[in-house]
Amino acid sequence: MARPSNHFQSSVGSKVVMALSGLGLVIYVIFHMLGNLQVFEGAHALNGYAAFLRDMPILLWTARIGLLNLAALHIILAIRLTLRNHRARPVAYTVREYRQASFASRTMAASGLVLLLFLIFHLLHLTAGVIDPSSVDRLDTEGHRDVYGKVVHAFQNPFIVALYLAGQLGLGLHLNHAVTSSLQTLGLEHAAFNRLFKAAGPAIALVVVLGNVAIILAIFLGIVRG
């Protein structure tokens, strides 16, 4: 009988863990986008929401540590599977058969890398305040951390806007393929739901990217102001 550790190290076991960790990260990205959309309701709403999250340190740190573990697991397994696939097929095909594979599925490693680079930049920028020290946390008139002011200040800069839009491209391509493929890996295939599962990836990718791009462009175009 296969030992659990052998199963975990097998390609199938790795893919199941990658699918589950990836879906966990997708749920975070959806809630993060929904929370950030409060920028359209003004400083009171966004800063109040950020303060509400910070006021529950145990929950906040549990979520952060959980998120970090999911991301680390997902990335390590992705690298391992990619290396294993390369080792299994060391000579590249001379004629590539792309008819079955979509553009998004062929570029999962590249879009994942763009997403990772975006995330590192994003955390250094808006969470740590390292990229733009003038963006570090100030307090608003109600004594809350002025997350609204920080975000509005950030997206007035065309370089920051360009980098965030590039990140959204990576995010969109990755989600487009990843969600449907994860559901398939987990064996969620049923004649009645197959079309729904196939549409889930592109639909989630579209909604999340449109939500994020709306925030970035509304600020850049002066529709949302400080």
Residue 15 sits in the site that holds ligand HEM (CB under 6 A): no
**Total interface residues for ligand HEM by CB under 6 A:** 19
Q: Residue 188: is it exposed, middle or buried by C-beta count within 10 angstroms (0-12/13-18/19+)?
A: middle
**Shortest gap between Cβ of 155 and ligand HEM (angstroms)?**
8
Task: Report how far apart, in Å, the C-alpha atoms of 95 and of each of 4, 14, 83, 85, 185 are.
Answer: 39, 29, 21, 18, 27
**Shortest gap between Cβ of 180 and ligand HEM (angstroms)?**
18
Q: One symbol per residue from 21 to 60: x for binding ligand HEM (CB under 6 A), - otherwise; what is it?
A: --------x--x---x-------------x----------
Give the three-state DSSP class for 145.
strand
**Shortest gap between Cβ of 214 and ligand HEM (angstroms)?**
9
Binding segment toward ligand HEM, per CB under 6 A, in 4-12, 116-124, 179-187, 198-206: 116-124
Residue 205 sits in the site that holds ligand HEM (CB under 6 A): no
Of residues 50 and 183, the one with the C-beta less far from ligand HEM: 50
Residue 151 sits in the site that holds ligand HEM (CB under 6 A): yes
**Shortest gap between Cβ of 154 and ligand HEM (angstroms)?**
8
Query: Is the CB of residue 193 less than 8 Å from the CB of residue 199?
Result: no
Query: Is the CB of residue 16 less than 8 Å from the CB of residue 186?
Result: yes
**Shortest gap between Cβ of 103 and ligand HEM (angstroms)?**
20
How far apart CA 183 and CA 194 sit, in angstroms, is 10
Counting every residue, how long is the chain? 226
Query: Is the CB of residue 27 less than 8 Å from the CB of residue 21?
Result: no
Residue type, 24: G
Binding segment toward ligand HEM, per CB under 6 A, in 85-93, 101-109, 117-125, 182-190: 117-125
Residue 175 sits in the site that holds ligand HEM (CB under 6 A): no
In 95-117, which positions are buried (b, 16+ CB within 10 angstroms) versus exposed (e)?
eeeeeeeeebbebbeebbebbbe
Strand partners, 139: 145
Of residues 6 and 127, the one with the C-beta less far from ligand HEM: 127
Among candidate residues 198, 203, 205, the one with its CA nearest the CA of residue 182? 198
Applying CB under 6 A, the residues found at the interface with ligand HEM are: 29, 32, 36, 50, 64, 67, 115, 119, 122-123, 126-127, 147, 151, 164, 171, 212, 215-216
